[in-house]
Amino acid sequence: LHDIGNYRSICLLPVVYKLFTRAILNRISKTLDEGQPCEQAGFRRGFSTIDHIHTITKLIEVSQEYKQPLCLMFIDLKPRVSRELEGFDVLSTSNPSRTEQSIYDQDLTILQRRRHRREEKGLAGFSATL
């Protein structure tokens, strides 16, 4: 009863702040969503990373149908992300090599795993070629 930590002040500012930010978000969300590039399907409303997996699967099917060679490159961002998020073991729950193997085990594609380096120009050039 006498502990001051048990008492919280009453402030209406968080309520007003939430209403104001929600109103702004409702007005600009469509513009923000349209501004996202198609390569960022995981961050767009109504899209997910499954869309990218579907696209890659279709590419493999079409290349096999027309007997055209297909080269796929996967960039392993785990070392970069784990360096940035020290202490958080975010990526340990997934096993990319097992997932890639289950998707591409029937295919004769060339898979190259590259590690993201700081001196490379980044993913902008890679995503522009897709």
44: which residues sit within 8 A by CB, 6+ positions away? 33, 36
DSSP string, 40-70: GGGGSTT--HHHHHHHHHHHHHHHHHTT---
Better pLDDT: 23 or 8:
23
Q: Using one digit for the tens of pLDDT, what is the confidence trace for 98-108? A: 555 555 554 43
CA-CA distance, 75 to 4, in Å (whole number)?
53
Q: Using one digit for the tens of pLDDT, what is the confidence trace for 19-76? A: 888 899 899 988 888 888 877 777 777 887 788 888 889 999 999 999 999 888 877 7
Better pLDDT: 76 or 130:
76
- What's the confidence (pLDDT) of residue 118? 41
- What's the confidence (pLDDT) of residue 81? 59
The overall pTM is greater than 0.75? no
